Amino acid sequence: MYILVTNDDGIDSPALMPLKQALDQVAETVVFAPDRNWSAAGHPKTMHKPLRADLRKLPDGSQGFCSSGAPSDCVALAHLGVVERKLDLVVSGINMGANLGYDVFYSGTVAAAVEGVVNGIPAIAVSINSFEPTDYRGPANFAARLVQYVARHGLPADLFLNVNFPAVPWDDVKGVAITRLGRRVYRDELVSRLDPRERSYYWIGGEPLGGVPDIGTDIWAVANGYVSVTPVYLDMTAYHFREDLRRWDIQLS
């Protein structure tokens, strides 16, 4: 198996190499990561400017690709031929900060996994519920173990696995929970200030993220010390609402 390892925190993230080195134990890997942090940058497809992808010597002595593009661009560039070998799997992470519930719409970590799936490559997004550097060996080894399950069972088309780790020592992790996406609560607040020329500028600020910890959700699992594994399907059609919508009897004019 040949795995593309990427992330959205950038190639220098302390959480990237532990993941790569754990995956090296079960497969061949190539790192193809952004040159800077793209957290919460979503899913760009950069089409209006050139992209760079330069070889870079990684801390373990291997060669990886460092790109000026977004995480989704990294996967696209690799898939389209910058990496000259067929990719069997995309693993994105380990992200510093959980990607739970609606986070999947903002996350560059998840976007990289989605870009894999869109291109027919199975994918796993991996995040930990801490913004502080920590010991990533347990989570990284679990990711490698999960890759072996994927190799054995395969993954259906049009879905990826969204994995989130609780921020507890590995020995305190309670188990693995197969979950659904929960309901994130963003306590965003508008911070409005004036620049030296008396023109307004804004920050999106506010309290740390919350969430509704309904049992069975990813938010619940991580809050209760479980590794959350959510199969996320790219077909977001609200099948249950189609009949209601037909009854609106929407006319052309």
Q: Which residues form the interface with Mn ion (CB under 5 A)?
A: 8-9, 39, 95
Nearest distance from C-beta of residue 163 to Mn ion, angstroms: 14
- Rank residues 64 and 71 by Cβ distance to Mn ion and give the closer one: 71
Nearest residue to Mn ion, by Cβ distance, number only: 39
Alpha-carbon gap, residue 178 to 165, rounded angstroms: 12
Amino acid at 200: S
Phi-psi map region of 54: left, alpha, beta (phi>0 left; psi -120 to 50 alpha): beta
Spatial CA neighbour of 111 closest among 49, 164, 50, 45? 45
- Rank residues 33 and 155 by Cβ distance to Mn ion and give the closer one: 33
- Rank residues 6 and 155 by Cβ distance to Mn ion and give the closer one: 6
Alpha-carbon gap, residue 161 to 122, rounded angstroms: 9
Radius of gyration of the chain (CA): 19
Alpha-carbon gap, residue 191 to 162, rounded angstroms: 32
Nearest distance from C-beta of residue 37 to Mn ion, angstroms: 7
- Rank residues 134 and 155 by Cβ distance to Mn ion and give the closer one: 134
Which residues does residue 195 pair with via DSSP β-bridges, in sequence order?
A: none
- Rank residues 13 and 230 by Cβ distance to Mn ion and give the closer one: 13
Spatial CA neighbour of 7 closest among 135, 140, 148, 102? 140
Q: Where are the alpha helices (DSSP H) in the chain?
A: 16-23, 71-77, 108-118, 137-153, 218-223, 242-247
Nearest distance from C-beta of residue 64 to Mn ion, angstroms: 18
Nearest distance from C-beta of residue 167 to Mn ion, angstroms: 15
Nearest distance from C-beta of residue 39 to Mn ion, angstroms: 3
Nearest distance from C-beta of residue 8 to Mn ion, angstroms: 4
- Rank residues 95 and 134 by Cβ distance to Mn ion and give the closer one: 95
Alpha-carbon gap, residue 136 to 203, rounded angstroms: 32
Q: How distant is the alpha carbon of residue 110 from its chain centre?
A: 3
- Rank residues 9 and 218 by Cβ distance to Mn ion and give the closer one: 9
Alpha-carbon gap, residue 100 to 179, rounded angstroms: 11
Nearest distance from C-beta of residue 239 to Mn ion, angstroms: 32
